[in-house]
Structure 1
Amino acid sequence: MFREMRRKKQNLSNDKITDILHRGTSGVLAVFGDDGYPYAVPLSYVYHDSKIYFHCAKTGHKLDGIKRNNKVSFCVIDQDQVVPEKYTTYFRSVILFGKARILEDKMEKREAIEILAKKYSPDDLQGRQKEIDKGLPAVCLVEIQIDHISGKEAIELV
């Protein structure tokens, strides 16, 4: 169902993929957009228990796309170093395909936003809780259940 990588030498191990997803702070979500056009949008995320979580407003282009078709892709770029004298780029990235689910259950939403907030503000438990209590009613949380994942790096980094 999912394509195999052509350049197998450049394929990242599962451990490296997991490290990149934990380390990354932003990724690009692609959904089935309006009029059949793909819609790709950068966003902050957290990788937890082999799933991706992100938050957004309760309405908008990405949610419309997810409601239309819950199959999505998500990409995280770990390294992107242009090397002009060699006419190449030293890159490392991960791409995953999965199904997005809008969290409706209050406990699931709370757990997801707490995990997300802890990633971006690890040393401020009191501040996180205050912000979550204030903002949770107005925010939407989305979970991506991963169906396929791969990572690739420039041959020079192998």
Structure 2
Amino acid sequence: MQLVGILQIKSPQKIKEFLNQEHVGRISSIDENGYPQIIPMNFVFLNDFVYMHSHIKGEKIDNINRNCKVGFEVDRELEFLPSYFEDPKDASLADTLYVSVVIKGTASLVSNKEEKTLALNGLMKKYQPEGGYDPIQSSMRVLDAVAVIKVIPEVLSGKYKIGQNMRPESRVHLAQQILKRNSPTAKETLKIMGFEITSSGLQMVDEPVW
């Protein structure tokens, strides 16, 4: 079996959950000279569309008005795996556990005030879930002072690498090494890999299939 197939996220729900968790995505548009322009953005994935708020003027707005085809990417590095996990001298064995989602689609500026309101309130709910604000209303003048970019996915794909490509005994060994190295992300990575730290040691309690 090809490694690419093993790493593919097959669950649309897992992709949606990942996009809802992550705070930064990158939109790529084509500038007037034909070069890709990549910009990090806050975003919300709502009703199967990507929404971002923006200043009403700028290069990415000009790019989208000229050419609506865009790319959008979100990723999370889970854990860097030092080369010495495999060999004390061979640097080529360094690796990374990760999750990533890539979208190819078309972008437009939202003009409908109801949809614009929905998107902005969706962004607020995602980034400020504790509340403490009055929801935006479609009658507010602030809507005219901000642009909302909508990306309609035509191709949506995801990849993840959490050890699912390894034999069970090798995955357990890797988890033990991650625990021993004790990076700031180690415990969360082990949880995503399906491991739990118990009183009797590290135990695999789940077989995550995405």
Correspondence for 1:141:
148
**Which structure ranks higher in relative contact order (CA pairs < 8 Å, sequence separation ≥ 6)?**
1
Amino acid at match of 2:33: D
Whether the 8 Å contact between 2:46 and 2:119 is mirrored in structure 1 is no
Corresponding residue SS for 1:16 = helix
Which structure 1 segments of 5+ residues have no match? none
Give 2:22's match in structure 1, choosing from 10, 13, 24.
Answer: 24
Cα distance, 1:81 vs. partner?
Answer: 2.5
Whether the 8 Å contact between 1:118 and 1:128 is mirrored in structure 2 is no
Give 2:41's match in structure 1, choosing from 40, 43, 46.
Answer: 43
Moved more, 86-95 or 74-83: 74-83
Cα distance, 1:84 vs. partner?
Answer: 2.0
The structure in which a higher percent of residues are strand is 1
Structure 2: distance between partners of 1:54 and 1:157: 33
Corresponding residue SS for 2:50 = strand
Structure 1: distance between partners of 2:142 and 2:13: 34
Whether the 8 Å contact between 1:28 and 1:74 is mirrored in structure 2 is yes
Correspondence for 2:9:
12
Q: Percent identity?
A: 28
Distance 1:24 1:155, change over 3 A: closer
- CA RMSD, Structure 1 to Structure 2 (Å): 2.3
Corresponding residue SS for 2:33 = helix
Correspondence for 2:72:
74
Structure 1: distance between partners of 2:143 and 2:127: 16
Q: Does 1:118 align with 2:125?
A: yes
Correspondence for 1:106:
113
Cα distance, 1:22 vs. partner?
Answer: 1.3
Structure 2: distance between partners of 1:141 and 1:125: 22
Cα distance, 1:123 vs. partner?
Answer: 2.5
Corresponding residue SS for 2:158 = strand
1:106-156 Cα distance to aligned partner (Å, 9 max, x none): 2221121111111111222534549x9474221000111111111112262
Whether the 8 Å contact between 1:90 and 1:157 is mirrored in structure 2 is no
Structure 1: distance between partners of 2:108 and 2:123: 16
The two structures have a TM-score, normalised by structure 1, of 0.86
Whether the 8 Å contact between 1:11 and 1:152 is mirrored in structure 2 is yes
Amino acid at match of 1:73: G
Whether the 8 Å contact between 1:30 and 1:73 is mirrored in structure 2 is yes
Cα distance, 1:91 vs. partner?
Answer: 1.4
Q: What count of residue pairs does the alignment treat as equivalent?
A: 153
